[in-house]
C-alpha cells in the first residue's frame, strides 16, 4: 500500500506534493519521495522514513518547477531499502520519466524475465521498475498510444502517477483495486490516492479516475483514454481500503470511508450483540466501527485507551520486532475507566494476532473483568497479491486457527467476526469489491512466485 500524488502547473508544485503526502502518510511510513520538473531538469529528494523527518524548507526550495509527483511507501514488492524508494526516475531519449506506483502487478516475474532477455538492466527489486522498462522499449511518438501499449501489458493492481517532463499521467487498472482521485487547484488538475489530500490543499474534488482509465494532464488541459475492453471488466475495489487503510475523512469508491466503517459496526452489532458495561475501540482505526456498534445497541461508548500520536501505524511496520515495540509504546490504558468492568472491544481486523494479544495483556493488567472482542470484518484467511502485505498464509492467524483458538491465543472471553455477507451488505455496489483476503476468491490470476521478494530470488 502506498500514497501517490501528482501536481500539474503550479508555481509551488513540490510544496503541494509535500503537503499532500502529509495527508497520505497513513498509506506508508517506510519511505517518501518527491520529484519536480523545472522546465529543463528533474529534481528529486527521497529517503527512508516519514515526510516530516526528511524534508526541510531548503529541500523544497531546491525542488523547483511547476510539475511534481510524490510517493509514500509501504513495501509490498521488494525490500525496504533505499534503492526501492519512489518516485523512480529514468531518462530515455532525452526525456525524463518519474513514476509513483500504488498496488502490485501479478505478472511481474513474467515481464521481468522477458525484459532481461531483451537486455534490460534493473536497478531495483520493485515491480514498478518493470513499467519504466516497458515504456523505454515501446514506441513513443504519440504519448497516448505509448502509454496504451505499455499499460495494456500489465496485470494486477496499479494506480499510477507519471511525470513525463511537464505532463502528468494518471492510470488505474481495469479492476480499480486501488483508489486514484482527480482534483482541481487554482484552475489546474492534481491527482492523489485519496480525497483527504485535496482537503488539506483546499483543492476541489472532481471525480475518481475510472478503472481502466488513463488521463494526460498538461496545465489546465486533460485528456482521457481507456484500455481496450476496460469498461467491460468486472470491478474489484479493495474492500480492505474501507475497513482499515483509507483515512475516514476520504471519499473512495463512491462512498465516505467514515460512514462505511460506522455501517460495518452497526452490522456487527446486529450479528453479535453481547452484554457489557460499555463499548470501546482500539484507537484509531477501530473508532468508527465501535461508534456504529454502540449506537446500534444503544450502549455507552467509552475511551479506555489513549494513543501516543507520535507513533505510527502498527500493522504497516515492516518487521515483527517494530510492530511489537510500537504496540507497547502506542497505547496506554485508563485504569479508572477500565478496572472491574465488562467491556466490548470493537476492532477493524486481526491479521497476525500478536498485536491484539499485546493489547489485551495491557487491558488485563489494569483489572478489566471481561473482554469481548468484536471484529468489523470476516477472518483474514488468504494472502493479498494486489497491494497489501498479507504475503503468506503462515502469517495469517485465521488461516491456521479456529475462532475459538484465536480467542484463546489473544486471551479474550469471547471473539466474533462480522460475516462476509454482513460486510458486503453495507458497501456501495457490493458486487464491485474484491474480498479475496476473506474468501480466497481472486478476481485476477495470482502470481506463480508469491514471494514479496520474488525479484530478489526468493521463492
Q: Are 264 and 292 in contact (CB under 8 A)?
A: yes
Choose, from 2, 196, 377, 384, the residue flagged as catalytic: 2
Q: Is 367 helix (H, G, I), strand (E, B) or coil?
A: coil
Q: Are 407 and 396 in contact (CB under 8 A)?
A: no
Q: Is 161 helix (H, G, I), strand (E, B) or coil?
A: strand
Q: Could you give the angle at which helices 354-365 and 320-330 cross, rounded to 10 degrees?
A: 30
Phi and psi, residue 199, nearest 5°: -60, -45
Maximum separation of any 2 CA atoms in the chain, in Å? 72
Cβ-based neighbour number of residue 429 at 10 Å: 11
Residue 49 vs residues 9, 155, 316: alpha-carbon distances, Å: 28, 29, 13
Length of the chain: 459
Q: Is 322 helix (H, G, I), strand (E, B) or coil?
A: helix
2: annotated active-site residue:
yes
Q: Are 406 and 396 in contact (CB under 8 A)?
A: no
End-to-end CA distance of the chain: 21
Cβ-based neighbour number of residue 187 at 10 Å: 9
Give me the active site residues, please.
Answer: 2
Amino acid at each position: 500500500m502506498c500514497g501517490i500524488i501528482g501536481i500539474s502547473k503550479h508555481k509551488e508544485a513540490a510544496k503541494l506534493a509535500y503537503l499532500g503526502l502529509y495527508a497520505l502518510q497513513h498509506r506508508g511510513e517506510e519511505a517518501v519521495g518527491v520529484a519536480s520538473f523545472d522546465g529543463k531538469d528533474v529534481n528529486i529528494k527521497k529517503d527512508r522514513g516519514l515526510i516530516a523527518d526528511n524534508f526541510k524548507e531548503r529541500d523544497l526550495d531546491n525542488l523547483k518547477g511547476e510539475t511534481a509527483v510524490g510517493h509514500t511507501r509501504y513495501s509490498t514488492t521488494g525490500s525496504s531499502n533505499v534503492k526501492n524508494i519512489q518516485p523512480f526516475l529514468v531518462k530515455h531519449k532525452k526525456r525524463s520519466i518519474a513514476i509513483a506506483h500504488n498496488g502490485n502487478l501479478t505478472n511481474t516475474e513474467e515481464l521481468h524475465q522477458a525484459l532481461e532477455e531483451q537486455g534490460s538492466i534493473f536497478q531495483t527489486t520493485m515491480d514498478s521498475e518493470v513499467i519504466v522498462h516497458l515504456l523505454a522499449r515501446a514506441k513513443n511518438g504519440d504519448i497516448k498510444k505509448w502509454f496504451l501499449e505499455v499499460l495494456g501489458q500489465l496485470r494486477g493492481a496499479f494506480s499510477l502517477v507519471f511525470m513525463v517532463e511537464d505532463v502528468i499521467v494518471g492510470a488505474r487498472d481495469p479492476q480499480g483495486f486501488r483508489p486514484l482521485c482527480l482534483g482541481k487547484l487554482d484552475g489546474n488538475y492534481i491527482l492523489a490516492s485519496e480525497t483527504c489530500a485535496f482537503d488539506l490543499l483546499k483543492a476541489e474534488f472532481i471525480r475518481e479516475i475510472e478503472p481502466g482509465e488513463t488521463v494526460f494532464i498538461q496545465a489546465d488541459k486533460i485528456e482521457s483514454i481507456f484500455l481496450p475492453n476496460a469498461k467491460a471488466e468486472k470491478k474489484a475495489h479493495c474492500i480492505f481500503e474501507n475497513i482499515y487503510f483509507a483515512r475516514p475523512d476520504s471519499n473512495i469508491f463512491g462512498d465516505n470511508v467514515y460512514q462505511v466503517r460506522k455501517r460495518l459496526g452497526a452490522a456487527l452489532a446486529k450479528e453479535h450483540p453481547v452484554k457489557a458495561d460499555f463499548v470501546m475501540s482500539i484507537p484509531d482505526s477501530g473508532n468508527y466501527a465501535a461508534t456504529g456498534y454502540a449506537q446500534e445497541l444503544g450502549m455507552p461508548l467509552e475511551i479506555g485507551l489513549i494513543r501516543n500520536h507520535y507513533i505510527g501505524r502498527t500493522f504497516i511496520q515492516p518487521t515483527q520486532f517494530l510492530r511489537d515495540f510500537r504496540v507497547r509504546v502506542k497505547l496506554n490504558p485508563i485504569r479508572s475507566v477500565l478496572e472491574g468492568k465488562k467491556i466490548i472491544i470493537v476492532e477493524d481486523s486481526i491479521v497476525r494476532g500478536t498485536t491484539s494479544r499485546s493489547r489485551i495483556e495491557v487491558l488485563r493488567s489494569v483489572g478489566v473483568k471481561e473482554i469481548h472482542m468484536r471484529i468489523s470484518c470476516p477472518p483474514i484467511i488468504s494472502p493479498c497479491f494486489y497491494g497489501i502485505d498479507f504475503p503468506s498464509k503462515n502469517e495469517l492467524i485465521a488461516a491456521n486457527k479456529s475462532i475459538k483458538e484465536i480467542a484463546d491465543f489473544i486471551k479474550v472471553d469471547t471473539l466474533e467476526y462480522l460475516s462476509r455477507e454482513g460486510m458486503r451488505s453495507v458497501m456501495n455496489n457490493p458486487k464491485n469489491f474484491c474480498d479475496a483476503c476473506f474468501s480466497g476468491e481472486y478476481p485476477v490470476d495470482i502470481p506463480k512466485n508469491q514471494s514479496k521478494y520474488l525479484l530478489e530470488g526468493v521463492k
